[in-house]
Structure 1
Amino acid sequence: MCYTLAAKRTLMPWRASLTVDSIAQLKRDLNHAFATPRRSIQNPGIAFVFTGQGAEWAGMGLELLNYATFRNSLNLSQAILSDLGCTWELLDEMALNVEITNLRHPAYSQPICTALQIALITLLCDWGVKPDRVFGHSSGEIAAAYCTGAISHESALKIAFYRGLSASSLLQESHSPGAMMAVGLGEDEVLPYLHKTADGDTGDRLCVACINSSRNTTVSGPEVLIRALQTLLASDGVFHRRLDVSVAYHSTAMQEVAAKYASSINGISPGSSEYGNPCMVSSLTGHECSFEELRDPAYWARNITSPVRFSSALRHIGSSHSKKLDDRKSQKIDVICEIGPHGVLKGAIKDNLKDINLKHRVDYTSLLTKGLSATNTMMEAAGLLHCAGGPIDVPKTNAATPALEMLVDLPAYPFDHTKQYWSEGRLSKNTRFRKMPPHELLGTAVSDWNRYEARWTNNLGVTQSPWVKHHKVCRLVVAFEDTCVLTVAR
């Protein structure tokens, strides 16, 4: 039935979707669990946003191995990582349960998350979904750059692999462990708290690592200062949450490994244009970035040391004045898909869209959600894209099941005919609603009436005007007071 509705029936503009995993659930939910019907639009603008580190979880995305495209991408990533000297197996590490998983270690989580994001991009592309804009949060920029075609699959994993190794070396060599914390305050509001927690003896201080929205920032620095900040925020009733990372990314501590990291990723190679060459807006600068920038190792060294300007990047994408680098007409964004282990950026995205105060609707969806089946969350995202009017091949989303035949006995659509629709052109309307009746000599005013150049049309004949029989003139033009000109034929 899914195949028949999606591939053999007319796709109407008003659409709704339903995700089910059994016939019993279909029977139970068919009449009341559909998404709210909505009117789709033609060629909606689609943006991909890539999650940074910290959202990973054991078993993420493994249900999607039923799709050959997703599985082949991860197998290719495994081969690339092996060539880089990786000693562990990608799929084996992803399948470890939460008690023994190594995902908390940056040497594992960085390349695994990037490989997962690349596999998700490949699967979406196989379904027909290609973005108009891409941007990433922190390490999410690696997969975003790959999606643009600026860097190859091999280079993306090399950047992620050595990023993880650099963070691990910092973790082992540092005498003061680092930490990060999300705070429910804007950049200007959180700065006074950072001044209060600064250590005057050692000179250590916290810094703003990520500017996510006007109401959310991430603070990074020594763990002892993070604990002190936690106490201050709790006493003032300010929202705060420790991130599940053990490295103070985007802080001054990362300067210790930045140069070595840049040296280790030399020789970044270009990728292909299979994803449509979308424009990438950098969360490092808040503006569009060129392929040359993304192939420069110095860019990725700055990516781990500089603040993440996620809010600026999203506002730039949401702006109606945002243009692609080739100066083509701007494509407004209608759907934002978060690509990563979990939809951790949803709140920041909603906050920024609210601040921008766009005049059109922007939908958000996350491809994966922690603890839920990846098949279900991908299907729900596919349903949203389809209802929004996106170019998604719905039958391919069910390609993990055997090919099904077309149903020929589905009932016709129950169209509502209580309201009449009539599309009529200007000429037809002028003819039907003319103000003056026909004149025996002048005829009727032409349909394309212009009062500055008045014209009439008439067919003179004996049947309609018997007097014409006595006024035949051969090959002459007779003028009547400059009002009209009649050509009288024999």
Structure 2
Amino acid sequence: MTVAHVTFWSPGLVRFTVFYYFSTVEANGYFNDSRGKISLLHYPARHFLLDTKLHGPGNFTGGIPLKNVVGTKTSVFVGSFATDYTVLLKRDPEAVPMYQCTNSGQSRAMSLHTGEASATIASGVNVILNHEFMNTMTTMKFLSPDGRCYTFGERGNGYARGEGVGTAPGGPLETRALSNLFCGPDRPADDPLMIGSIKSNVGHMGGASVIGAVVKAILMLEQEVVLPNRNFKNPSPRIPFDEWKLKVVTKTEPWRREGPLRVSINSFGYGGSNAHAVLELPRTYLSSHGLGGNYKIAKQIVLPQTKAHVNENSPAPFADHGHLRLFIFNAFDETGGQRQAESLANHIRETSQVRRKGFLDDLVFTLNERRTDFIRKSTVIAGSSAELATSLSMPLKFSRSFKKPVLGFVFTGQGAQWCGMGKELLNTFPLFKNTIAKIGRYLHSIGAPFDEDDEITKDPKLSKVNTALYSQPMCSAIHIALIEVLNSWDIKPTSVTGHSSGEIASAYAIGALSMEDAMAAAYYRGVCSTKMQEKAEINGAMMAAGISEEAATPFLAGIKTGKAGVACVNSPSSVTISGDVSAIDELQKVLESKTCFRASILHIQLRTGNGVKFYSSVFGKEITADDLRPDFANLLGQVKFSESLRQLCLSTGGAKKRRQAKGGNVNFLVEIGPHSALAGPIKQILEADPKLKEAGIAYSSALERKSEATNTALDLAGKLVEAGHVLDFAAVNRAQGKAVVFSSTWDRVERFAHLFSSISITS
């Protein structure tokens, strides 16, 4: 943005300075009209106004996203003061109205009162692009020669009407009217009417002046403080303050009084449009009328942090470190998104001493649920304000997506278990804890010798999670609890597949098994595996090897001690081999001596394994609930995971859905289980198939071994948001917050430098 600064001495020796901003907000096409033209940019005032509107909390007052406004009976009123731009372009002002200072607020009130609109947006805008208008005002002695507003003071030297402008004749007239209305004989002399003016703070904003007054009044009410008048030293001798029971506030002070807290606002248009508004604090209004209801609790951000100014009813500063939350940042363009993050980081640091309990809940609620949903998104996970500020100080990566991803769930088989898997979710999400508790009660009822919750949180040295009796049902319990949590977040699959025992969770996910049936299958599967080991009916072992099924065949044929075979085709270049212990030991030595990879040995676990489609790794294809087999086929048969996943990605959905995503309907795979054990095989499967490779299917896991479970689960949710998925954020963050105010921002593109390049101004 280019800024020019010119000083003028007008007739009457009034000195004033004009700042020309040679740009406006084009926002990379954000405000383009339907014809692809930038007609709105013909009037900078209009465009700056749109910029300001889109900067507001949630883009509109109260944190209302744009999607909630479209199609509603919402009226829009704008007060505009000048036609500088059209004059500079030497064009007819067309439909650029001069509504003066007060019309927007007056028209808004009428619109609501008559029922013409159920909501309204009132605005005022004043963009000074030409000095001639101000020069004329000065010549007519409307303006102070000092360029300052001395409202109610002896230095007031403008010449016009009142409304707190600081004019010589206007001040006494307005203050007398206020005294006659509010300060009758019954008003105690020690309870004077406090008066002030926004113009002493920011000057006369022309068409936006009434909006400034309303903003100041609302800020005073919300904070329950009285804001001072600037430039006031000695009172005007023409205003008998004591006699009229008036007081000009000269410093910020707490607003303490019995009864309702009210602010009255005067606004007088030079064309004759006059308005007066009375605003009241909702808390005092409701209590005085014997009513209940919700209202905003003031956060003390205005008063300095001193004993004299601290609201005794306000809680002490709060150490806000708590459970992790997922913060969503929406941006129309990446540059603007980065500035928004930096601005918020600065705000968090600057308000650290006056922060109150609930700040993070309010902030995450506003960011996630009260902001307009733009096409670029970035996510941040933080458990405290300090963590959030630190993350926002680093560059964010914004992703762009135009459609909701189609999800496929992949359930990890047994073998990925570890002591402590998912334990942080027990304390963070009540639904996870309640599901685990319900599963624990059921397992106890059918004779399980352990408590699910206790085993998850047990000391690793004492845990039996790696025994078949424990691991089988515990992995399935993690699967089911994660399904429930993700479902509450509105993360639901279109299709599912499971690796080995993960088929139990797949059957639960498609609704073919109840929780009790699924857990019974998992528990007795563990019992069966344990008994076979104890009776030595199958004294075996399993080995993961990084070779294809075809490459493994000759090695298996050459085994001399015992028997072994391919138990699972994990991917085109990865298999799991099971068999007698002696055969596995022999094969390991052969593979290590003749190949360039190392094989890892796992003691025998003999793993087998509503509208949502089920791709079975027993059959290597889609099956229905009726095809589910009640026997131990997924325990004894080969696991065809590679083919089942490939079919899931290629075959899901009808022809119309397949056209929506290259290479297949599913474009985001989510691994559900204790660890991302299938990340490698999934990558290999996708890379090996040209269609799947071209599709660019994304992958993420709900949990990671030895990683904080809440963080990994929220990271999954964040990746889905960045891919275009819409979540139930209240369930994700467990936040029942209120909308808070802070600005959004985006890239500004210079558009008007050409306009001023030919203008010559001399003083």
Q: TM-score, normalised by structure 2?
A: 0.48
> For 1:232 and 1:288, how far apart are their aligned partners in 2?
37
2:633 aligned residue: 302
Q: Is the 8 A contact 1:210 1:308 kept in 2?
A: yes
How far residue 329 of structure 1 moved from its aligned partner, in angstroms, is 4.9
Q: Is the 8 A contact 2:414 2:607 kept in 1?
A: no
String of CA shifts for 1:203-225, please: whole Å, max 9, x gaps: x2111011011111111112222
How far residue 12 of structure 1 moved from its aligned partner, in angstroms, is 1.1
2:403 aligned residue: 42
2:207 aligned residue: none
- 2:646 is aligned with 1:315: yes
Q: Is the 8 A contact 1:386 1:394 kept in 2?
A: no
How far residue 355 of structure 1 moved from its aligned partner, in angstroms, is 1.4
2:737 aligned residue: 404
Give the direction of change, closer, same or farther, for the CA distance of 1:99–1:128 in structure 2 (3 Å limit).
same
> For 2:511 and 2:748, how far apart are their aligned partners in 1?
47
> For 1:379 and 1:404, how far apart are their aligned partners in 2?
19
2:695 aligned residue: 360
> For 1:362 and 1:206, how far apart are their aligned partners in 2?
35
1:227 aligned residue: 585
Equivalent in 515, 518, 527 of residue 153 of structure 1: 515
2:528 aligned residue: 166
> For 1:24 and 1:138, how far apart are their aligned partners in 2?
43
User: Unaligned regions of 5+ residues in structure 2, if any?
Assistant: 1-362, 659-663, 752-763
Give the direction of change, closer, same or farther, for the CA distance of 1:232–1:404 in structure 2 (3 Å limit).
same
How far residue 144 of structure 1 moved from its aligned partner, in angstroms, is 0.7
Give the direction of change, closer, same or farther, for the CA distance of 1:174–1:346 in structure 2 (3 Å limit).
same
- 2:456 is aligned with 1:94: yes
How far residue 33 of structure 1 moved from its aligned partner, in angstroms, is 5.5
SS at 2:622 equivalent:
coil
Equivalent runs, 1:260-275 vs 2, <5 Å: 273=610
> For 1:33 and 1:187, how far apart are their aligned partners in 2?
45
> For 2:399 and 2:599, how far apart are their aligned partners in 1?
36
> For 2:385 and 2:657, how far apart are their aligned partners in 1?
46
> For 1:244 and 1:100, how far apart are their aligned partners in 2?
20
What residue identity is the alignment partner of 1:239?
Answer: F
String of CA shifts for 1:413-468, please: whole Å, max 9, x gaps: 3145579xxxxxxxxxxxxxxxxxxxxxxxxxxxxxxxxxxxxxxxxxxxxxxxxx
2:594 aligned residue: 236
User: Unaligned regions of 5+ residues in structure 1, if any?
Assistant: 255-272, 420-490
How far residue 106 of structure 1 moved from its aligned partner, in angstroms, is 0.7
SS at 1:81 equivalent:
helix
Give the direction of change, closer, same or farther, for the CA distance of 1:297–1:175 in structure 2 (3 Å limit).
closer
SS at 2:413 equivalent:
coil
> For 2:459 and 2:601, how far apart are their aligned partners in 1?
20
Equivalent in 307, 331, 341 of residue 674 of structure 2: 341
1:414 aligned residue: 746
Greater displacement, 190-199 / 332-341 = 190-199
How far residue 192 of structure 1 moved from its aligned partner, in angstroms, is 1.4
String of CA shifts for 1:128-147, please: whole Å, max 9, x gaps: 11100100000000011100
> For 1:148 and 1:29, how far apart are their aligned partners in 2?
38
Equivalent runs, 1:71-470 vs 2, <5 Å: 71-174=433-536, 177-199=539-561, 204-249=562-607, 273=610, 277-294=611-628, 296-298=629-631, 301-319=632-650, 321-323=651-653, 329-330=657-658, 332-357=665-690, 358=692, 359-399=694-734, 403-408=736-741, 410-415=742-747, 417=749
Q: Is the 8 A contact 1:221 1:248 kept in 2?
A: no
RMSD: 2.1
Equivalent runs, 1:471-490 vs 2, <5 Å: none
Bigger relative contact order, structure 1 or 2, given CA contacts below 8 A and separation 6+?
1
Q: Is the 8 A contact 2:622 2:648 kept in 1?
A: no
> For 2:509 and 2:420, how far apart are their aligned partners in 1?
24
Give the direction of change, closer, same or farther, for the CA distance of 1:195–1:418 in structure 2 (3 Å limit).
farther
Greater displacement, 369-378 / 77-86 = 77-86
What residue identity is the alignment partner of 1:351?
Answer: Q
String of CA shifts for 1:301-356, please: whole Å, max 9, x gaps: 1111111101001110121x4447xx995571111110000001001101111112
1:426 aligned residue: none
- Taking only the aligned residue pairs, the percentage that are identical comes to 34
Q: Is the 8 A contact 2:592 2:599 kept in 1?
A: no
> For 2:401 and 2:635, how far apart are their aligned partners in 1?
40
Q: Is the 8 A contact 1:184 1:238 kept in 2?
A: no
2:374 aligned residue: 12
Give the direction of change, closer, same or farther, for the CA distance of 1:187–1:418 in structure 2 (3 Å limit).
farther
Q: TM-score, normalised by structure 1?
A: 0.74
1:55 aligned residue: 416
> For 1:412 and 1:290, how far apart are their aligned partners in 2?
49
Give the direction of change, closer, same or farther, for the CA distance of 1:306–1:23 in structure 2 (3 Å limit).
same
What residue identity is the alignment partner of 2:640?
Answer: R
How far residue 69 of structure 1 moved from its aligned partner, in angstroms, is 1.0
Q: Is the 8 A contact 2:559 2:586 kept in 1?
A: yes
Q: Is the 8 A contact 2:667 2:696 kept in 1?
A: yes
Greater displacement, 92-101 / 388-397 = 388-397
SS at 1:364 equivalent:
strand
> For 1:44 and 1:114, how far apart are their aligned partners in 2?
26
How far residue 243 of structure 1 moved from its aligned partner, in angstroms, is 4.6
> For 2:394 and 2:556, how far apart are their aligned partners in 1?
50
Q: Is the 8 A contact 1:334 1:362 kept in 2?
A: yes
String of CA shifts for 1:246-285, please: whole Å, max 9, x gaps: 33446xxx9xxxxxxxxxxxxxxxxxx5xxx310100111
Give the direction of change, closer, same or farther, for the CA distance of 1:221–1:15 in structure 2 (3 Å limit).
same
